[in-house]
Amino acid sequence: STKQVLVEGSDTLAFLFPLESGFGQMHNRNGESDDERLQLDIYPLSSYYFGSKDAIPFNDPTLPDRALRIKSNYAARGIRTCVEALLLVELFKHPHLLLLQVRNSIYKLPGGRLRPGESDTDGLKRKLARKLSVNEDADGSEWEVGECIGMWWRPDFETLVYPFLPPNVEQPKECTKVFLVKLPASRNFIVPKNMRLLAVPLCQIHENHKTYGQIISGVPQLLSKFSFNMIGS
């Protein structure tokens, strides 16, 4: 397996960054002050290990295929719920968000669709295990899912989503929930070979809808209430 992760620079993919073992976390314990609860501990990118595993199949080769699948799922089960993870690391004394890149052009937060009757937390842990852990069949117990800090709604079967439910929409087709995920004291990120894990600075993501889409480009605003504690930088 490879021991490297792609790091995205200010404009384009800049270089391959070799990594070693190590990890990070976030705190929000009972009894802390408001300031302490809103502080995120972020660890250096160089302290993490990244490897690869066998490729996983893509459900939607194209956007029209995705729209058709959402329509089919809605007819069978109603509104589709997706859960996605925010994983933060430090590089150049600036917070970076870990994103999956598919087909060299599509950026995604790690996560995916819930199964019928599955809880948000269990579903996100399952998706993280499948896409970022060595054992994709694990129960995901090693992932610590924090608070939901944003929800996005898809009113129809097209690509447009909103950070609110439009008042004229009574039957939305999809809801996407974004969660902070606390990184533990040790972590290996094992990524399918047909995906790339990128560390992208928040300053590049901010309002960059054209490159990253509506949800990812809105992440810096979702994180604006937090302060970042760069550990070991």
Q: Give the tens place of pLDDT for each residue, 106-152.
A: 999 999 999 999 999 999 999 999 999 988 766 667 899 999 999 99
What pLDDT is attached to residue 65?
78
Lowest mean pLDDT among 6-15, 31-40, 48-57, 172-181: 6-15
Q: Which two tokens stand for residue 146?
A: 């924090």
Higher pLDDT, 160 or 35: 160
CA–CA separation, 177 and 112 (whole Å): 10
What pLDDT is attached to residue 8?
56
What pLDDT is attached to residue 18?
41
What pLDDT is attached to residue 16?
40
CB atoms within 10 A of CB 39: 17
Q: What's the whole-number average pLDDT of the chain?
A: 84
Higher pLDDT, 157 or 18: 157
CB proximity list for 193: less than 8 A, separation 6 or greater: 52, 53, 54, 55
CB atoms within 10 A of CB 81: 18
Q: Where are the domains of the chain?
A: 4-230
Provide the b/e sequence for 133-163 (b: ≥16 CB within 10 Å): beebeeebeebebbeeebebbbbeeeeebee
What pLDDT is attached to residue 25?
46
Residue 5 has pLDDT above 60, yes or no: no
Q: What is the CA radius of gyration of the chain?
A: 17
Residue 58 has pLDDT above 80, yes or no: no
What pLDDT is attached to residue 159?
77
pLDDT, tens digit, 9 for 90 and up, residues 33-44? 566 678 999 999
The pTM score is 0.82
CA–CA separation, 79 and 170 (whole Å): 11
Domain 4-230, what fold? Nucleoside Triphosphate Pyrophosphohydrolase (3.90.79)
What pLDDT is attached to residue 183?
83
What pLDDT is attached to residue 50?
94
What pLDDT is attached to residue 20?
41
CB proximity list for 133: less than 8 A, separation 6 or greater: 140, 142, 188, 190
Answer whether 100's CB lies under 8 Å from 131's CB.
yes
What pLDDT is attached to residue 70?
82
